[in-house]
């Protein structure tokens, strides 16, 4: 479980770069500013949220804790920010919608079964989701060698290699036995994904995703969905411009947490060039590598509107369920308040390009 959360693809070069990229920027504070009150709220795809970061879609949360996606969604509601549910979630989109009242985003794929994709759109409309997030970088699964070494399968099973780890974590293991529901809740009625027993995660991903998807299919999805559309996986100014041309309201600059193409750039390094290309045509979200409040400040100063976190909250979920996720969100919120106070910015709108510089830019 740990390596599935923690790992990346191939040599994990991109995974490491996602963190190192933030270290290549200075923060430039302004002193003697009135920062007695700090306002972290911002607007994202038409929704006012209490934080400039939100919870990214991550698949199969039941792998990590029996509270599943609902534990994460409740934590997001408590902190007043977006919760994003994955197509490959182990909780249905309707159950999430019935559980929380704060803004919800559904992460969608254009699958081989286009009717299933269309069905997701209609279900999201009926359930009151505020936005769709189309993931574009999963034509096939990345080469996640840690998962191959550890024998990661869905649903998990006890094996000789992992037996001691299960014994050393009795609380998790007992709940694993007491709550054995590992169904992919949003597709179970149409795709017998796991009905035949355990299968490799990479095998499942590669069996479901369509390598023929193009920008024409994004146009088709835009025609099916009349609400805000976020395109996730954009890593070049040219693709960012194409996404805006087909109707994207926001772009999630993401390399899938370093889990797909190894050697891809860190999202934080692409904020400036993408903002320069698209201007105000779309909001920009930095996804991948965000671990600190200062990371969020740097991303916004470079031109992003918000950040999203995935791995960060999954560590909390695996360690302590909803309470663990809340702990992570609380740490980030506290760090963000501190960073903005020391930077001399009382609100998110105060953060700008003058507050950030590349290491070599300062004489």
Q: Provide DSSP, 99-117.
A: H--S-EEEEE--BS-HHHH
Active site positions, annotated: 256
Write the DSSP symbol of residue 183.
-
Which residue, 273, 210, 230, is CA-closest to 134? 230
Asked whether residue 10 is marked as a ligand-binding residue, the answer is: no
* Largest separation between any pair of C-alpha atoms in the chain: 65
Question: Is the CB of residue 63 less than 8 Å from the CB of residue 154?
Answer: yes
Per-residue pLDDT, 169: 82
Q: At what angle do helices 311-343 and 293-302 cross, to 10 degrees?
A: 70
pLDDT in tens, 92-134: 999 999 999 999 999 999 988 888 899 999 999 999 999 999 9
Asked whether residue 128 is marked as a ligand-binding residue, the answer is: no
Please tell me the distance from the alpha carbon of residue 88 to that of residue 91, in angstroms, as a whole number. 9
pLDDT in tens, 184-203: 788 777 655 545 555 555 56
Asked whether residue 298 is marked as a ligand-binding residue, the answer is: no
Question: Is the CB of residue 47 less than 8 Å from the CB of residue 103?
Answer: yes
CATH of domain 1-358: 3.20.20.70
pLDDT over 80 (residue 218):
yes
pLDDT in tens, 275-319: 999 999 999 999 999 999 999 999 999 999 999 999 999 999 999
Q: CA end-to-end span of the chain, whole Å?
A: 46
Q: Which of 57-71, 151-165, 211-225, 335-349 has the lowest mean pLDDT?
A: 151-165
- In this structure, is the dihedral angle defined by the CA atoms of residues 242, 270, 313 and 328, taken in order, positive or negative? negative
Question: Is the CB of residue 347 less than 8 Å from the CB of residue 43?
Answer: no
Please tell me the distance from the alpha carbon of residue 302 to that of residue 25, in angstroms, as a whole number. 10
């Amino acid at each position: 479980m740990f390596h599935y959360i923690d790992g990346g693809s191939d040599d994990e070069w991109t995974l490491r770069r996602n963190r190192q990229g933030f270290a290549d920027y200075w923060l430039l504070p302004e002193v003697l500013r009135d920062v007695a009150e700090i306002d972290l709220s911002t607007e994202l795809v038409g929704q006012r949220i209490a934080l400039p970061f939100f919870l990214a879609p991550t698949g199969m949360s039941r792998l990590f804790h029996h509270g599943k996606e609902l534990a994460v969604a409740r934590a997001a509601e408590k902190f007043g920010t977006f919760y994003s549910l994955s197509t490959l979630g182990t909780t249905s989109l309707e159950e999430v919608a019935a559980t929380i009242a704060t803004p919800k985003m559904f992460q969608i794929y254009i699958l081989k079964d286009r009717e299933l994709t269309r069905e997701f759109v209609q279900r999201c409309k009926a359930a009151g989701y505020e936005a769709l997030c189309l993931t574009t970088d999963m034509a096939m699964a990345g080469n996640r060698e840690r998962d191959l070494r550890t024998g990661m399968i869905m649903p998990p099973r006890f094996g000789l290699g992992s037996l001691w780890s299960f014994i050393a974590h009795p609380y998790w293991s007992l709940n694993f036995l007491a709550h054995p529901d590992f169904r992919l809740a949003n597709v179970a009625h149409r795709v017998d994904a796991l009905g035949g027993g355990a299968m490799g995660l990479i095998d499942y991903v590669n069996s479901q995703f369509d390598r023929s998807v193009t920008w024409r299919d994004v146009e088709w999805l835009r025609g099916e969905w009349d609400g805000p559309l976020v395109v996730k996986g954009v890593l070049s100014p040219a693709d960012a411009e194409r996404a805006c041309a087909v109707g994207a309201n926001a772009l999630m600059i993401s390399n899938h947490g370093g889990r797909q193409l190894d050697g891809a750039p860190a999202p934080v390094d692409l904020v400036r060039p993408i903002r320069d290309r698209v201007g105000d045509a779309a909001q920009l979200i930095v996804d991948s590598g965000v671990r600190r409040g200062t990371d969020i400040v740097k991303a916004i100063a470079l031109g992003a509107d918000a950040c999203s976190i995935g791995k960060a909250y999954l560590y909390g979920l695996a360690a302590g369920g909803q309470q663990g996720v809340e702990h992570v969100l609380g740490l980030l919120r506290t760090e963000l308040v501190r960073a903005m106070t020391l930077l001399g910015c009382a609100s998110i709108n105060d953060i700008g390009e003058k507050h950030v510089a590349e290491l070599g830019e300062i004489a």
